[in-house]
Structure 1
Amino acid sequence: MFEKTLSDLVKGLRSNKRREAEYVSKCIAEIKEELQSKDKSHNVKANAVVKLAYLQMLGYDMQWASFHIVEVMSSPGFAQKRLGYLGASVSFNDETEVVLLCTNMFKKDFQDASPFVVGLAINCLANICTTDLARDLVADVVQLMNSNRAYVRKKAVLVMYKIFLKFPDALRPSFPKLKEKLEDRDTSTVSCAVNVICELARKNPQNYLALAPIFFKLLTHTANNWMLIKIVKLLGALCPLEPRLGKKLVEPLTNLINTTPAKSLLYEAIHTVSVGMTPHLEIVQLSMDKLKDFVEDEDQNLKYLGLLAMGNFMKVHPRIVAEHKTMILKCLNDEDITIRHRALDLVSGMVTKKNLQDIVRILMEHVENSEGSFRHDLVDKIIEVSSANGYAAVTNFEWYITTLCKLARVPGVCNGLNLKHQLMDVIIRVRAVREFGVAAMVDILRDIDMLSQCSRDPSSAEVMYAAAWLVGEFSDLLEDSKRAGVMDSLLSKRVMCLPEHVQSVYLHSALKIYVSASKGYSPTANLLEDDTVSNHTVDLLSQA
């Protein structure tokens, strides 16, 4: 009888793309026949299982063949057993009932004389481990950690992590044995133990603080970059829990930062400094110098990581980061928007009373040259840095109001609501700048281009809302020569393009100005006698 091989199956699928379902159904029927084979060597069944594994990876459910896969897993021949374990790894899950039948088979294969058979069983357990399997096999795996073959020891160490996830009660009794592997004579086994403990420590670093001396020894004696990365990560998680550890790490990490050519290891060392060693200024300054090289590198990934790490230092040492202000602001011109956003995030921590206006000027230039969401983020950032801590960095509020008005006039800026709140907040709060602010709002109300912009961008209407409300609220600050023009602007037919809630504020403000101008005069207010006021304005006020 001729059976199709996996290669035949793949070729058939490629040549039957338009009727794949029909072809797969035919193949499954053939596979079912093969699984009934009486061949004692299990060659036919193994061939069927490998085809099932491929179909499983294509999305076809093969749970119906689980028992046959277990049969192939129990084959005496290594080649057939390997395919059986492959099929189980691909298709078994927590709901597979026959998994319970595998317990004794795992125990048997764990005792096999061939390390490769033991390795197959360990690999499969890592893929299909359930709570029951973890509970029943943890003792056997712990025994394998004592194997005289490093190939088996390192696999046993790694699978312990999966066992801990499925059966947490196994962690406490088996941890001493795992700890021993940190001092194993085989480097790869030590690396595996470090990896497992690092993953465990991500959830609760406090439990592994007692291992700090061992990891410190490994840090100073190993040359394996992969292991060093894991060790540095773990020590970085432990530093905030034990301040004395940070002091101890200054010398080895300084040497590491100065000597390693591996960018990945260098970044992890710097990250550890940023999260747990910030009180040590010398290594912080060294780290910032290295991050400067990252940001100036042509590799966009390194540039991004450099800015990201600077953000960690910004929380504690903003002045040290601010020393690189020019370089960071230069990143706002980068083609990669993610890098531009990272640079923009750093701006907040660099602002002082002395440099606020310079930084805002640079950001304003980018607002005019940018587009889309980044332009909106720039506007929000200008407002954020200026209004931070109750406008602590603003020394000239006339400048700030002028800046807000310039932003409001930039076409395509959709930050109207934010600008509205800022204009109202500043002019209401700061009495000394109120008259200047009202004059600026008058200019906005009379700006025909702003009205036209509102029809294209509804957000701009919120700025008009603020301008109208402020002019009405502080109408006593209006110059007499401008009252008539303001009334005309508030009651012009052009304002009909504005949203209703904005039109309502326009009308209320017009009434406030009218009442303010009428105080102390005859019922027929002088304002209405002014020839410069349009008939349309007079009609609206009369109706009101």
Structure 2
Amino acid sequence: MGSLKTFIKEVRSAKTLAEEKSIITKESAKIRTKLKDDHLSLEKRRKNIQKLLYLYILGEKTHFAQVECINLISSDDFQNKRLGYLAAVLLLDEQQEILTLLTNLLNNDLNHPNSYIVSMALSALGSLTSPELARDLYPDVEQIINRSTEPLLVKKALQCAARLVTRDAALLEIFYPYCKKVLDNHRLCTHGVLLGVLKLCQSIIEARNLYEFDNYLEILASLIDSMPEFFSLLQNLNSAVFNQEFDVNGTSDPFLQVELLRTLRMLFACAPEKTMQYVDKFGDLLTQLASIGDGSKNSAHAVAYECVRTIFELQLDQSLRVLGVNILGNFLSGKDSNTKYVALNTLSRVVPQEPRAVKKHRKFITKCLLDTDASIKVRSVELIFAILDETNVQELTNELISFLEISTEDDKDVVNYVVEHIMVVLESERYGEERWRLDMAIKVLELVGEYASYEKVNEVMIMINNARSIELKASLVLKILSTTIDAPADSKVSVENSGWKLVAIWCLGEYADLILGSSGLTEVKLTAWLANMNRMCYDEPRVTSFILSAALKLSCKIQSKSQIEDLRLLIAGHSKDTNLLLQTKSTQYGILFNQPTKSKKAILDAMPFFAKNVVEETASSAETRQPVKSPQAAKETNLLLDLFDTDPVPAAIPGGLGGQKPPLNSNGQKAAPHVPTDHEHVLQAADKIYDCNNLSVYGKVVFCAHQKAVIELNIQSKQKKIINLHTMAAVAKLQQLSMGTLSSGVIDPSGIAKQQLELTGSGKLKLRVKLSYTVDGAEVSEQFDHRFAESL
């Protein structure tokens, strides 16, 4: 049998995946056979375990050799024992029953005279400990802390004790006195030992909810008594003269500083009243820590970031919060991608506490849109929408438009997120003048209309339809049709831009009479373009449906008989369409086409103003909640209403406002008032597909045709705030899934987060969804399956 080096070379030299799999399978079979040989020498057994570890790295199955790893640990040879412990830590976990075989071996090695063997045993126990192992072996760990004079072993024992406490909270009563005892032993208390003490303190604090006895306040008080010692250590680490042995790029032992800050933060959060006397001193120390260090080095960034986390988690003074935001702003000006990501992620969380301070750094935030890292672009966009308000909406919108102009196919998820949220902003009257909002909405569609959902395209049509000025409508329609029909060579409108095509076709049908004769847009040119679109988009039913409606409406707005006949033939051409809906519409439109002109014009008159009943958004909540139309409002605002529906009167407004007179709009007409609706109205259009103690999930199929479907999930929390929300989904083998960006990872009580899924393929629409989140400090995971009525 060859060596490990030879095996690695063979795997790497494989030219195909099948060849590589063959080599691995054969070698795995050889290892299995050899390890069954009771007479195999230890040296050869060791070589086989080494190959087994390489198989583990490759992701292959290694369960058949777990007992062999434990047999190596029982060897007296240090080399074999070291490999056995390494293999055990990698191949086993605390859930495996085979761990019971380790109890005696660990007990022997924890009492071994060789300190290196004791160190390995402590590391293995810390990694693999289960509640049973913790209860059986804690006396050995305690004995090492008590009697050992070697800092290495004391450090390892303290860290192991921290792990034992997390597995069995009752053990914190055994180990908590050693925090103070080791701190007082200055001869033994090296930086490594201090790290062990701090880890043990953190485990004791984290286990407070699992501790069942009444003396926890006494235990906590003993830790609080050590706080002056922690302050002193932090100050000494940041003094002008420090031990060069611990220097990391100009920062004295950043690992110890970070753990000290984390432990102090946990103590302040756990016992705010008992630690009140130290708040001022801690604030001064944080200010000092944040203002020193080389801002271009990761070691200094680590300490500064921990200071920022401490400031905001403890909600300290405003001056400190502003300082924290400025530190994060400095992170954004650097070149390191990891530092930028951390800064953007943290700024998104602190916007509610210090919105003004965060907005001052919008220059650096928008600059991150140009970063090559996709994750930084996503975080940058999320932060932009979190800080967007009336004062900076134009500046930030222009930056987002600039980003859309240079976006590529690789930025698909980011563009989807931008389009979805920027349309919400532009729909609201509070964000600038009507002309500017319409210009921006049209610009977005021109650039990336293919990424806009049908609902957002529909909203743009409503905005154009509700424009107060006829001159404004005419100029917008002229701009859209001129850009489309007389497209220059450098036009930014792509062939796949379905959103732009829908708006252009709709504008042609609704407002052709406003622009006929302008910029050379004649009846012949408009009719020819519509006929050309009919030929180009024959396999797009939605676009074709718009073309049929536009052709019918255009026939009432032109005078040329030959062009009217062309439009009639266009409609009649779909009377035998394979799509039943288009065939029906063509037949109905054909009948309507032959009606007297006066009757036809009355039916095909311009759309009335539409009123929307939506929840008004604030700048801070725009990221997490989207205004969604109630079913009745959606019916009112759907521009694909049947042309025979001539009743323009909006539906009655629910609630206690029925007796109030609606206000007048700028034209002196009655306008339906904006009525705030709660989340129940938001979710009326969707079906509840899952329900549990903490949340409910509502789902609806937004679009389903031509082997493509778009599903929208609305996740609503119940009585408790949900944080760190993550969604995962799986579909059938014949389908492919593309997940959009979750609208927010944090949901307030009764709040909503939205997740959009895009499926392609064939078969029934079936989803398996997994939700992971944190509520009341506990991590929760939910999984469910749902089958929709629609099929691809």
- TM-score, normalised to structure 1, is 0.75
1:503 corresponds in structure 2 to 544
Distance 1:216 1:331, change over 3 A: farther
Q: Is the 8 A contact 2:32 2:65 kept in 1?
A: no
Q: Kindly report which structure 2 residues correspond to 1:28-47, keeping only aligned pairs within 5 A, or say none.
A: 36=39, 45=42, 47=43
Q: Is the 8 A contact 1:438 1:471 kept in 2?
A: no
Distance 1:213 1:434, change over 3 A: farther
1:57 corresponds in structure 2 to 53
Provide, for residues 478-526 of structure 1, a one-character-per-residue CA deviation record: whole Å limited to 9, x for no partner.
Answer: 5787898499549932231332233323433554566xx6xxxxxxxxx
Q: Structure 2: how far apart are the matches of 1:442 and 1:451?
A: 15
Q: Is the 8 A contact 1:153 1:189 kept in 2?
A: yes
SS at match of 2:451: coil
- The structure 2 residue matched to 1:264, chosen from 302, 310, 333, is 302
Distance 1:87 1:450, change over 3 A: same
Provide, for residues 244-292 of structure 1, a one-character-per-residue CA deviation record: whole Å limited to 9, x for no partner.
Answer: 5765531111111112442211122123223333x52222332333334
- The structure 1 residue matched to 2:314, chosen from 276, 300, 309, is 276
Distance 1:342 1:239, change over 3 A: farther
Q: Give the Å deviation of 1:323.
A: 1.7
Distance 1:376 1:235, change over 3 A: same
Q: Kindly report which structure 2 residues correspond to 1:361-372, keeping only aligned pairs within 5 A, or say none.
A: 361-372=398-409
Residue 399 in structure 1 maps to residue 399 in structure 2? no
Q: Structure 2: how far apart are the matches of 1:372 and 1:84?
A: 49
Distance 1:158 1:117, change over 3 A: same
Distance 1:113 1:406, change over 3 A: closer
1:153 corresponds in structure 2 to 154
Between the two proteins, the alignment pairs up a number of residues equal to 514
Q: Give the Å deviation of 1:218.
A: 0.9
Q: Structure 2: how far apart are the matches of 1:504 and 1:362?
A: 35
2:565 corresponds in structure 1 to 535
Q: Structure 2: how far apart are the matches of 1:253 and 1:205?
A: 29
Q: Kindly report which structure 2 residues correspond to 1:355-434, keeping only aligned pairs within 5 A, or say none.
A: 355-374=392-411, 377=414, 380-381=417-418, 384-385=421-422, 387-388=424-425, 391=428, 393-410=430-447, 414-415=451-452, 417=454, 419-427=456-464, 430=466, 432-433=468-469
Distance 1:163 1:84, change over 3 A: same
Q: Give the Å deviation of 1:237.
A: 5.3
Q: Structure 2: how far apart are the matches of 1:414 and 1:10?
A: 51
SS at match of 2:146: coil
Q: Give the Å deviation of 1:57.
A: 0.4
- The structure 1 residue matched to 2:283, chosen from 250, 255, 260, is 250
Q: Structure 1: how far apart are the matches of 2:145 and 2:301?
A: 33
Q: Give the Å deviation of 1:397.
A: 1.1
**Higher helix fraction (1 or 2):** 1
1:198 corresponds in structure 2 to 202
Q: Give the Å deviation of 1:423.
A: 0.8
- The structure 1 residue matched to 2:530, chosen from 492, 513, 516, is 492
Q: Give the Å deviation of 1:121.
A: 2.9
Q: Kindly report which structure 2 residues correspond to 1:316-335, keeping only aligned pairs within 5 A, or say none.
A: 316-335=353-372
Q: Give the Å deviation of 1:191.
A: 1.1
2:480 corresponds in structure 1 to 444
Q: Is the 8 A contact 2:35 2:68 kept in 1?
A: no
Q: Is the 8 A contact 2:131 2:168 kept in 1?
A: no
Q: Is the 8 A contact 2:69 2:88 kept in 1?
A: yes
Q: Structure 1: how far apart are the matches of 2:320 and 2:558?
A: 74
2:716 corresponds in structure 1 to none
SS at match of 1:190: helix
Q: Give the Å deviation of 1:65.
A: 6.7
Residue 138 in structure 1 maps to residue 171 in structure 2? no
Q: Structure 2: how far apart are the matches of 1:500 and 1:450?
A: 24
Q: Structure 1 stretch 246-255 or stretch 60-69: which is displaced more?
A: 60-69
Q: Give the Å deviation of 1:140.
A: 3.0
SS at match of 2:353: coil
Q: Give the Å deviation of 1:420.
A: 0.8
**Identity fraction in percent:** 20
Q: Structure 1: how far apart are the matches of 2:176 and 2:207?
A: 19
Distance 1:239 1:510, change over 3 A: farther
Q: Structure 2: how far apart are the matches of 1:125 and 1:336?
A: 39
Q: Give the Å deviation of 1:26.
A: 6.5
Q: Give the Å deviation of 1:320.
A: 1.3
2:106 corresponds in structure 1 to 106
Distance 1:302 1:480, change over 3 A: closer
Q: Give the Å deviation of 1:330.
A: 3.0
Q: Give the Å deviation of 1:407.
A: 2.8
Distance 1:255 1:444, change over 3 A: same
Q: Give the Å deviation of 1:445.
A: 4.9
Distance 1:434 1:199, change over 3 A: farther
Distance 1:441 1:250, change over 3 A: same
Distance 1:177 1:425, change over 3 A: farther
SS at match of 1:301: helix
Q: Give the Å deviation of 1:168.
A: 2.5
- The structure 1 residue matched to 2:230, chosen from 192, 212, 218, is 218
Q: Structure 1: how far apart are the matches of 2:551 and 2:29?
A: 79
Q: Is the 8 A contact 1:53 1:90 kept in 2?
A: no
Provide, for residues 148-189 of structure 1, a one-character-per-residue CA deviation record: whole Å limited to 9, x for no partner.
Answer: 323333222222344345x42544443534544673522322
Residue 229 in structure 1 maps to residue 258 in structure 2? yes
Q: Structure 2: how far apart are the matches of 1:381 and 1:282?
A: 33
SS at match of 1:395: coil
Q: Structure 2: how far apart are the matches of 1:28 and 1:259?
A: 58
Question: 1:194 is aligned with what amino acid?
Answer: L
- The structure 2 residue matched to 1:353, chosen from 390, 406, 413, is 390
Q: Structure 1: how far apart are the matches of 2:541 and 2:516?
A: 29
Q: Structure 2: how far apart are the matches of 1:372 and 1:62?
A: 41
Q: Structure 2: how far apart are the matches of 1:99 and 1:461?
A: 60
Which structure 2 residue ranges, 5 or more long, are not aligned?
15-22, 238-252, 295-299, 572-588, 594-792
**Higher strand fraction (1 or 2):** 2
Q: Give the Å deviation of 1:530.
A: 4.6
Question: 2:142 is aligned with what amino acid?
Answer: V
Distance 1:347 1:213, change over 3 A: farther
1:522 corresponds in structure 2 to none
Which structure 1 residue ranges, 5 or more long, are not aligned?
38-43, 518-526
SS at match of 2:3: helix
Distance 1:62 1:267, change over 3 A: closer
Distance 1:50 1:383, change over 3 A: closer
Distance 1:275 1:417, change over 3 A: farther
Q: Structure 1 stretch 432-441 or stretch 227-236: which is displaced more?
A: 432-441
Q: Is the 8 A contact 1:70 1:84 kept in 2?
A: yes
SS at match of 1:159: helix
Distance 1:100 1:405, change over 3 A: closer
Q: Structure 2: how far apart are the matches of 1:15 and 1:346?
A: 48
Q: Kindly report which structure 2 residues correspond to 1:511-522, keeping only aligned pairs within 5 A, or say none.
A: 511=552
Q: Give the Å deviation of 1:401.
A: 1.1
1:301 corresponds in structure 2 to 338
